[in-house]
Amino acid sequence: MSGRPVVGVIIQARMSSTRLPKKVMMDICQRPLLWHVINRLKPASLVDEIIVATSDRPEDDIIEEKCLEWGIKCFRGSRDDVLDRYYRAALEYGIETVVRVCSDCPLIDPEVIDRAIKKYMEGSFDHVSIDKEFPHGLDCEVFSFDTLTRAWNEAALASEREHVTPYIWKNDSVFRLGKIACDIDCSHMRWTVDNRKDFDFVLAVYEAMGCSDRVFTMKEVVELLERRPDIFEINSGGIRGEGYIKSLKEDKFVKGH
């Protein structure tokens, strides 16, 4: 680790997704979706730890069981206060630089993760994310434990606690924010898994790539979709950030952690 702060990816995952329940355990090429997310993070050279943060609800016992089977650290905490879950997971495992990844991103690219971490390390930022020209589904955020702690202490809206980082990126006068840019505009591409069409799209990508455990890159997927517009069309037209938009409509102040 060369004396640098411990970098840990924390993957938020739960079985009770409202739009596609149990999606994290749905099979892609004979392996659960969550396994693929973890597998694709392992080649990231600047990552020291991978942790799955799930809820303490009984329906998420299967996630803890699978993490044990795969040799992956697991933390269990609040279902709805995901900010609290992240804070406590980072605290328990001594994570000084937090990389946030969602479990609905089975096409996450380790090269993008490393780029974001490198920019964070070199730029004196409190928070680094990817710009909107990346495909939706490569989303990652890098921030310090101190930044996470401040958000944990100060965030008061339900949406800020459910989605972990809105308090940080809404307060750009307080936090130093950075972004990494995409070489080409892929903002029209939807690679996240929120619904059945999204899952069918990802499954088609994996099958077209040969259903192996090899970690193919974002560039390879873009090239595939250029050759196979039929795959691109499976889930085209989805709304970016649908879950966060829904939370804003239902927002309320919450007290305590």
Closest CA to 139 of 19, 11, 34, 16: 11
Q: What six digits make up the tokens of 102?
A: 């969602």
Closest CA to 158 of 80, 75, 41, 245: 80
pLDDT digits (tens, 9 = 90+) for 216-226: 999 999 999 99
- pLDDT of residue 115 exceeding 90, the answer is yes
Q: What six digits make up the tokens of 216?
A: 């193919």
Q: For all residues of the chain together, what is the average pLDDT?
A: 92
Q: What six digits make up the tokens of 62?
A: 């299967």
The answer to whether 164 and 81 are in contact (CB under 8 A) is no
| pLDDT (0 to 100) of residue 256 | 57
Q: How many helices (H) and strands (E) does the chain have?
A: 11, 9
> Residue range 227-231: average pLDDT?
96
- pLDDT of residue 244 exceeding 60, the answer is no
Neighbouring residues of 177: CB distance < 8 A, sequence distance ≥ 6: 125, 126, 127, 128, 129, 168, 169
Domains in the chain with CATH codes: 7-184 (3.90.550.10)
- pLDDT of residue 247 exceeding 80, the answer is no
- pLDDT of residue 10 exceeding 90, the answer is yes
> Residue range 137-154: average pLDDT?
96
| pLDDT (0 to 100) of residue 238 | 57
- pLDDT of residue 250 exceeding 80, the answer is no
pLDDT digits (tens, 9 = 90+) for 21-40: 999 999 999 999 999 999 99
Q: Which helix (H) or strand (E) element contains residue 100? A: strand 97-102
- pLDDT of residue 257 exceeding 60, the answer is no
- pLDDT of residue 104 exceeding 50, the answer is yes
| pLDDT (0 to 100) of residue 251 | 58
- pLDDT of residue 242 exceeding 70, the answer is no
| Bridge-based pairing state of the strands 73-77 and 49-55 | parallel
